[in-house]
Structure 1
Amino acid sequence: MSTAESLAPAIQAGQMGVTLNGDLGTIRVYSETASSIELCLLDTDDPRSVVKSIPLQRGDQGIWSATDSDLKLGTKYALRVDGPEGPRNRFNDSLFLIEPYAKAVVRESAREYHCVVVDGKFDWQGVAKPNIPLDELVVYEAHARGLTRGNKALPDDLRGTYAALGHESTIAHLKKIGVNAVELLPIQMLISEPHLLKNGLINYWGYNTINFFTPHHRYATAAAIQAGPEAIIAELKTAIRELHRNGIEVIMDVVYNHTAEGGAGGLTYSYRGIDNSSYYRQDDNGHYQDTTGCGNSLNFANPQVVQMVIESLRYWTEEMQVDGYRFDLATTLARNEANHFDPNHPLLRAINDEPAFAATKMIVEPWDVGLGGWQTGNFPDRFSEWNDRFRDSVRRFWLSDIAAARNGGNHWNGVADLATRLAGSRDIVDGPSGPLGGVNFITAHDGFCLHDLVSYNVKHNNANGESNRDGSNNNSSFNHGHEGEGASEEIRMQRRKAVRNLLATVLFSAGIPMITSGDERGKTQNGNNNAYCQDSVMTWLNWDLTRHQQDLEDTFSYLTKLRRENPVLRPKSFGDFNTASEDHDLLKWYNAAGEIMSEENWHDPECRTISRFTERLFGDGSKNSLLLIIHGNESSSLVTLPKIDGSSEYEELWNSAQEAPTITARKLYAGDQVQLSGTSMLLLRVN
């Protein structure tokens, strides 16, 4: 028995919610505090009309249940729950509530949602999950709607839908640029906040989940929505199947830390009305203990909440064939009874112990907004962590430090911190997974996109309706001398080179690389660094490319190709300073003179040029050796190629000073001096 199953021994895995057995349907609902729970079977044509009311009986561990022959496929239903008054309770038996384990939910009105019994039968046509090794993974964070909404090559009725995700046009783009895992922003059923709707906006990103088992209906085609929940599920499964058929995995961004019911003044849709006291963290006076910044936090000190998340993950893994998960604000998920982070939390143990998740990617955002919330590097080795240290270090080196030198004549940092990130951030993720314990990124959905990161010094979020108060003010961005668009060609060239440097740093560093959809094409959000409520061309992937955008996409495609072809660019373990083997790469650092870096070099903020030599030996005696030269100064510089034992010849593979990849096949030799353009990178094969 797994840890997850032992949390609720009275109920077998997969038995909560509605289950069907022949002509009988059974429903099971958890509520520790309720005094009565009523299952309402609803009229298909008039959802306010209750066809049949079935009382649930309380059993062990607060599990309520009922069995009835009228609870069958296609049945529309909701819950009514009553209970005692008190500061921690919010019972209202006049409300129709969403059953937490419902596999399908339909929106009847702005305030009312009803559940539907489905079976989700689907033909996977023998297509299996790709099971891509972590060291080969290139993650592409994308919005299920925004990825395809602007693609005019798609029929109008498909653009922005689940069907479009699996369309040959979308797959062709993903394969061309060399990504093999699409990390979708939340697609579990969500609700937009009332204040956004009042302003004519929506929660576009989707971090406002109301049900953890149901696909969000808005991303389905109009035809599937009209046909009903079974068609929506089938459409999403078809997209996943076709992505898998083409060797592309699907990772879901999941928001288990809070729900769309918000704070104490929020609306009641489900958990609050079923058992507010048990599902949410509160003090004795009913005040929510919010570590998410969203009004509430689910109570992961409650084994039933832990079990619900495990069952949700199992459903999406087995039934929907999802390959992995990115856990939003994951520190909240691992807070114990004292509301403190616990790396040995039952939820984390249950994920580790569950056989169904053995090959599933588990990625965490290792922080929340509560006390002690920043936990980067502290999650169990099973979880790969978003590496915010990588993001900040790389932004500083290529952007903030360059701005500082322009403005004050001196750089703030040398190469030491950057080298640590390039080598896999061992100071943060020093576990058995090696550098694969970290996910390296420069941008994500939250913050500036890459084009804007090199084009704006400050955020421009007025379109969000919050007078530019929302969004981070700490971006480590640099506009290169002009705020926003309309810059001179010289500045635009500098920006494009900065983008190439940033993308290459992600792809050439040890760890799992992640880029944000659109960054490979130079998409802009006009300086908006918090576009969570913008469903428009601002946030959609651009499909009509300028020449420079096409050059950037070709460059990114070439960089991912280099990563695929050179195992030494994607190590599974941390490098060794003395020897190379099949188990670990040889790693050496050289200064601009071609000499091993000295202590003085490492601590000199004006030492801004470094060469990384890495070598992998294979069982057949062959080897893969590369030299990556990084020059972080706006003045050009001569760099001496180091003399490396057993090697004497170098072959140029890529130069970031070039607008588009150009294969020169230029041969160089140890001891040669190479002219590097200001703020540029050069990758050489060592023979």
Structure 2
Amino acid sequence: MNNAPLTPSPGRLEPWGAQARDGGVNFVVFAAHARALQLCLFDEQGAEERRYRLHGPTADGLWHGFVPGLAPGQLYGLRAHGPWAPAEGHRYNAHKLLLDPAAQEIVGSFSWRPEHHGYVLGQDPDTAFEASDNAAWALKARVPAPMPALRPAQHKPRIAAAERVLYEVHVKGFSQQHPGIPPELRGTYAALAHPAALAHFKRLGITTLSLLPVHYALNEPMLPPGLVNYWGYNTLGFFCPTPRYSRTPQDPAAVNAEFRAMVDALHAQGLEVVLDVVYNHTPEGNHFGPTLSFRGLDQRSWYRIDGTGRPLNWSACGNTLNFAHPQVVAFTLASLRHWVQVMGVDGFRFDLAAVLGRGTEGGFDRDHPFFQALDTDPVLKEALLIAEPWDAGPQGYRVGDFPGRWLEWHDRFRDAANGYWLHKPTPHGEVSRTEFAARFDGSAETYRDRHPAQQRAPQAGVNYLAVHDGYTLADLVAYERKHNHANGENNRDGRDNEVCANFGVEGPSADPAVLATRLRVRRALVATLLLAAGTPMLGGGDEVGNTQHGNNNAWSQDNPTGWITWPDPADAAAGAEAAAFTAFIGELNALRHQQPLLRPGAFSEIVRRWEGLVYGDDTPLLCHLHRAGEAAGAAPLLIAFNRSAEVLPLALPPGRWQVLLCSEPPDLTPPPATAGAPLPPRGLRVLQRLP
């Protein structure tokens, strides 16, 4: 190869990455502080063929060039020339081949090698410059072919905010042990669109799948043997689906096609697809980390840097992407548009989303340019936006502070609901009846009153009981301490203060009384979730009693611990229990759909009057519901809660009442709903006054 770089024509300044057009390929890369940027072309065997010096940087820090004669399928990487000045935040090292941040197709098998570091591994990362070439082992981008057009936008489901029910699920974990999905499909995108999966989603009555990360991610370098980053919160390729979940992982184009086919099949069943996205950090880590892409292009622009030139760690993962820089914002918007326009998804759940709103001075800004751009972007202005509303930086807990259009994970609902039914204190103290009622009513003080001009609805709060980073619902009622030894960190990882209870036996039990109590509480919890005001989110697998055996941080468990435990077809009793719990969730979602009083679109729409807020567990807690402006007796609902272990008398108001739902397990017949009818222990009941 002749290392003397060729000079391409300037080409166009958009879009990001590589685009085949006009008989060649156009390239656009951001690297504001680079002194030169080389485009390196490789053959299919990974041998470098030639180099081009891109034009730039523009005033916006972009490098660009058009190479005629190139075609889709061309492999390429980048080499950035610039200062090695770690104290100033610059770690340029042209010996390192860099991945295009906007790569839509990524090829190669990554392994952690010393050559990927810009310094001599094991020595001072600020002084021991490392001059070996890593190209033989580096991941490479491949120029994508234009993808066929998506189905017309009118074929996308249109879910009203008050109707939405989320289901958080891992693509692989859902199907890896599913007995109704063919073995050759298990663990893949295609499996999530299999008729058995679609039928299950319809039985549950959910509207929206919230997929754990599917962007191209790397494993951490120091994981014990047999463990991987199963959850995928370590993104390197923000335009590229991971091949891990594909039937054809060696063919990036086929991976893209399989992902799009999955989305299309889910849409055809009226289901939305939301992606969990991780724009807060990358796998390059702190100053001890490798030089794979962003760091080598322009560490000081891509990442937030402290006064010593090192990355700030507001993500608790080593580095933090710099949303105070307009090109980082532009890159993220381009990535989001790609997933909506090209891959067909309906929205995003943003991991550690407080990072996205941190301005130049580091504080959180509800009027941040990124938030404003989302509202005006013609592609993204209707996408569903869900925040994990915190990060690990200063004043990072921002629940209730995101702009009006956003939904937010509501951890206070989780703690209040779990603490109430499990009789356990939360990090905020004991759960009073008043606290429980406020969370059940939609947390008006958080979403209506904190920023009144936004006029946020109860749906702004995403209510949940159990999600990926914690106990499963079944484990919440079976363990009182975490059991994370399999993660290789001596049980130090995972939350220590998670609300949980074992009801007398730690872990599995054969005691019928213990099992009956656990089942009652699980049913009461999920009923509370789906009857409360807000946007409910179910944890994938909780409907079938999925367990992680007390592991509340199974991020590295790509094995039966992390996969959904579906009932063994040969175990009739387990299958019947799972089917009954799944049916119960479907019944709850059907009731939610049928009764507008259970899903208010505004805080002023429904009147909720509580009885028993000041009493103890020897009396029921009652919630009366009717529409604003209507007489209380017009057609009200009554929800009666009994968290005690005793049967309580339920004195109904005058009139005829019909039981719409009882959380009792199905093998127990609910008593008639007459005045003075007993209220079952550890359960709730929904009743409606008859005309």
What residue number does 2:643 align with?
632
Alpha-carbon offset, residue 153 of structure 1: 2.3
SS of equivalent to 2:236:
coil
Alpha-carbon offset, residue 13 of structure 1: 9.1
What do the CA deviations read for 1:339-369 (whole angstroms, capped 9, x no partner)?
1111111111111221212321100000011
What residue number does 1:585 align with?
606
Which ranges in structure 2 are unaligned for 5 or more consecutive residues?
Answer: 1-9, 112-136, 449-453, 569-573
Alpha-carbon offset, residue 57 of structure 1: 1.4
The 8 Å contact of residues 11 and 64 in structure 2, kept in 1 or not, is answered as no
Which segment drifts farther, 101-110 or 528-537?
101-110
What do the CA deviations read for 1:88-137 (whole angstroms, capped 9, x no partner)?
12212122211011111112442521101113423645572102111111
What residue number does 2:319 align with?
296
SS of equivalent to 2:500:
coil
Q: Which amino acid aligns with 2:184?
A: D
SS of equivalent to 2:191:
helix
Distance 1:13 1:680 in 2: 61
Match of 2:580 among 544, 547, 551: 551
Where do residues 29-68 of structure 1 align in structure 2 (5 Å cutoff)?
Answer: 29-44=29-44, 46-47=45-46, 49-58=47-56, 59-68=58-67
The 8 Å contact of residues 607 and 625 in structure 2, kept in 1 or not, is answered as yes
What do the CA deviations read for 1:156-207 (whole angstroms, capped 9, x no partner)?
22110011111111111111111111100000110000111x4321000000
Match of 1:262 among 267, 270, 285: 285
Task: Give the aligned CA root-mean-square deviation in angstroms.
Answer: 2.3
2:402 aligned with 1:395: no
2:177 aligned with 1:170: no
The 8 Å contact of residues 558 and 661 in structure 1, kept in 2 or not, is answered as no
- Rate the CA distance shift 1:100–1:412 in 2: closer, same or farther, 3 A: closer
Distance 1:71 1:97 in 2: 20
Distance 2:79 2:387 in 1: 35
What residue number does 1:673 align with?
676
What residue number does 1:428 align with?
446
Distance 1:177 1:306 in 2: 37
- Rate the CA distance shift 1:624–1:76 in 2: closer, same or farther, 3 A: farther
2:245 aligned with 1:219: yes
SS of equivalent to 2:78:
strand
What residue number does 2:15 align with?
15
Which segment drifts farther, 107-116 or 281-290?
107-116
The 8 Å contact of residues 363 and 386 in structure 1, kept in 2 or not, is answered as yes
| Runs of at least 4 residues off by over 6 Å | 10-13
- Rate the CA distance shift 1:85–1:232 in 2: closer, same or farther, 3 A: same
- Rate the CA distance shift 1:623–1:296 in 2: closer, same or farther, 3 A: farther
Alpha-carbon offset, residue 559 of structure 1: 1.2
Where do residues 124-203 of structure 1 align in structure 2 (5 Å cutoff)?
Answer: 124-126=150-152, 128-196=155-223, 198-203=224-229
Aligned length: 637
**Seq. identity, %:** 36
- Rate the CA distance shift 1:450–1:12 in 2: closer, same or farther, 3 A: farther
What do the CA deviations read for 1:49-88 (whole angstroms, capped 9, x no partner)?
1122111111221111111114321111111111111011
2:99 aligned with 1:98: yes
SS of equivalent to 1:392:
helix
SS of equivalent to 1:502:
helix
Alpha-carbon offset, residue 635 of structure 1: 2.0
- Rate the CA distance shift 1:13–1:82 in 2: closer, same or farther, 3 A: closer
Which ranges in structure 1 are unaligned for 5 or more consecutive residues?
Answer: 1-9, 404-410, 576-583, 592-601
- Rate the CA distance shift 1:78–1:412 in 2: closer, same or farther, 3 A: closer
Distance 1:129 1:660 in 2: 40
- Rate the CA distance shift 1:11–1:61 in 2: closer, same or farther, 3 A: farther
- Rate the CA distance shift 1:532–1:421 in 2: closer, same or farther, 3 A: same
Match of 1:462 among 472, 481, 485: 485
SS of equivalent to 2:341:
helix
2:563 aligned with 1:563: no
Distance 1:172 1:636 in 2: 37
Distance 1:558 1:12 in 2: 55
What residue number does 2:384 align with?
361
- Rate the CA distance shift 1:289–1:636 in 2: closer, same or farther, 3 A: same
Which segment drifts farther, 507-516 or 274-283?
274-283
SS of equivalent to 1:490:
helix
SS of equivalent to 1:538:
coil
- Rate the CA distance shift 1:660–1:569 in 2: closer, same or farther, 3 A: farther
What do the CA deviations read for 1:640-660 (whole angstroms, capped 9, x no partner)?
1124xxxx2211122112246
- Rate the CA distance shift 1:153–1:104 in 2: closer, same or farther, 3 A: same
What do the CA deviations read for 1:210-229 (whole angstroms, capped 9, x no partner)?
011000111111xx224x21
SS of equivalent to 2:316:
coil
- Rate the CA distance shift 1:481–1:668 in 2: closer, same or farther, 3 A: closer
SS of equivalent to 2:331:
helix
SS of equivalent to 1:316:
helix
Distance 1:175 1:94 in 2: 53
The 8 Å contact of residues 78 and 96 in structure 1, kept in 2 or not, is answered as yes
TM-score with structure 1 length normalisation? 0.89
What residue number does 1:686 align with?
689
Match of 2:356 among 333, 336, 339: 333
The 8 Å contact of residues 25 and 67 in structure 1, kept in 2 or not, is answered as yes
Q: Which amino acid aligns with 1:63?
A: L
Which segment drifts farther, 244-253 or 150-159?
150-159
